[in-house]
Amino acid sequence: MNYFSSNFKLGILGGGQLGKMLLNDTRKFDIYTCVLDASDEAPCKIASNEFHLGDLMDYNAVYNFGKQVDVLTIEIENVNVDALETLEKEGVKVYPSSQTLRTIQNKAVQKLFYVDNHLPTAPFSRFAYLSEIEDAISNGGLEFPFVWKAAQFGYDGNGVKVVRTLSDLEGLPKGECIAETLVPFKNELAVIVARNAAGETKTFPVVEMEFHPEANQVEYVICPARIDDHVAKKAEDVALKVSKAFNHVGLLAVEMFQTKNDDILINEVAPRPHNSGHQTIEASYTSQFEQHLRAILNLPLGRTDSKVGGIMVNLVGAEGYTGNVIYQNIETIMKMDGVTPHIYGKKQTRPFRKMGHVTIVNEDLSEARRVAEEVKKTIKVISE
């Protein structure tokens, strides 16, 4: 198949920042792209060859869009899986597969998948309604503390809450959810696995994630993770087993906990480019976005090791600001060595909304971490 400067069409469901960064590489390779998104202001609109407006959860919108392309991929999981299943039957290549997405879209189903495939994950209970959690607590079937997770439609820390008392359940969505044992962990880690249809597989180095205490969002992604080699090896092995169990094609980001006694437990996965891989654009031989393209087009996978230590800082909307975005002090951070800002193209900011990220590269990881802190303190995402 000739993908380059040809009639081949790649379809992308979702027009957000992940799609926008993927389009940098489709343009590098001159691959023709079609994007479907519900917002006329989606970041992808400017860089794709064709931009289609439509609801990603609507069967007809996804089906009709998918019929126009040769290979279909995603940059967000919340898409109509029934439409993808039909497209697969009609010969459109869909990566990740509808089956993988069906499993991953529901956190309860995803957790059961790990259990069925003997993959290590924290113990959990599944509930059809929030009220069943209260019943389980009152009859002694569930003990505090635990982590409540909505079964569907969670993102960026939404749909997850640590529950220590009954009052913590107030105001949570009433529907299907899981209650997961609160794991005492040392580190949150992630490994991105790339796999093409021919079965060639590569992993990016293990990264470590530092979280914002209130927003439950990643503040820093540190690559390589500051962990022992044997722990890194264990994390990579678990990630490869997960990818194999899904028979996944494309990128699979596997988020994990490193427990107090250095066991690795799977938290959750994303079958696409991921926040934990943004530093690969500047720090790696092959970025996660280029690797995703290579994998879904069944091309040889690129080299995954890092050229240099990399840290990624998320740029999120400051509290108390909603409206037309302003990036305050961006010139100041651009004076710092090894600092590259990425602006996602969202015109409107609101508290904790992901608006961009900054990569800091340095041969010395501790120096990169110091600069990352300075970047975080300096740049502010505010509004007019």
Q: How confident is the model over 120-142, as pLDDT tens digits?
A: 999 999 999 999 999 999 998 99
Six token digits for residue 110: 């995803």
pLDDT of 215 > 70? The answer is no
Tens of pLDDT, residues 246-282:
999 999 999 999 999 999 999 999 999 999 999 999 9
**Burial (CB count <10 Å: 0-12, 13-18, 19+), residue 145:** exposed
Across the chain, what does the average pLDDT equal? Answer: 96
Preceding peptide of 224 cis, ω within 30°: yes
Q: 9-94, which class in CATH?
A: alpha beta
Question: 123-181 with 185-383: one CATH topology?
Answer: no
Task: Identify the bridge partners of residue 311 per DSSP, sorted by sequence position.
Answer: 222, 360
**Closest C-alpha among 151, 159, 231, 147 to residue 188:** 231
- Binding residues for ATP, as ranges, are 107, 149, 180-183, 188, 267-268
pLDDT score, position 156: 67
pLDDT in tens, 142-183: 999 999 999 998 776 688 999 999 999 999 999 999 999 999
pLDDT > 70: percent of the chain: 99
Rg (CA), the chain: 21
pLDDT digits (tens, 9 = 90+) for 322-337: 999 999 999 999 999 9
**Reading across the β-sheet that carries 177-181, which strands appear in turn?**
124-127, 177-181, 146-150, 160-163
CB distance 221 to 254 below 8 Å: no
**Cα 36 to Cα 59: distance, rounded to the nearest angstrom:** 13
Tell me the residue length of the chain.
384
The span from the CA of 280 to the CA of 257, in Å, is: 21
Q: Which of 369, 147, 94, 354 is nearest to 83 (CA)?
A: 94
Q: Cα–Cα distance between 123 and 240 in angstroms, integer?
A: 21
What is the per-residue pLDDT across 328-369, written as a single tens digit (0 to 9) for each? 999 999 999 999 999 999 999 999 999 999 999 999 999 999
Are 98 and 43 in contact by the 8 Å Cβ rule? The answer is: no
CA 342 to chain centre: 17
Rounded to two decimals, what is the model's pTM? Answer: 0.96
Indicate the fold that domain 123-181 takes in CATH.
Answer: Dna Ligase; domain 1 (3.30.1490)
226, 243 contact by CB (below 8 A): no
Strand duo 250-259 + 185-195: pairing: antiparallel
Quick count: other Cβ atoms within 10 Å of Cβ 296? 23
Amino acid present at 157: G
Torsion of CA 310, 315, 319, 320, to 10 degrees: 150
Summarised one tens digit per residue, pLDDT across range 34-50 is 999 999 999 999 999 99
**Would you say domain 185-383 falls under CATH 3.30.470.20?**
yes
> What is the residue type of 378?
T
State the binding site: 107, 149, 180-183, 188, 267-268
Give residue limits of the domains in the chain: 9-94, 123-181, 185-383
In the block, which residue shows the tokens 């998104």? Answer: 37
**Residue 100 exposure: Cα atoms within 13 Å on the Cβ side:** 23
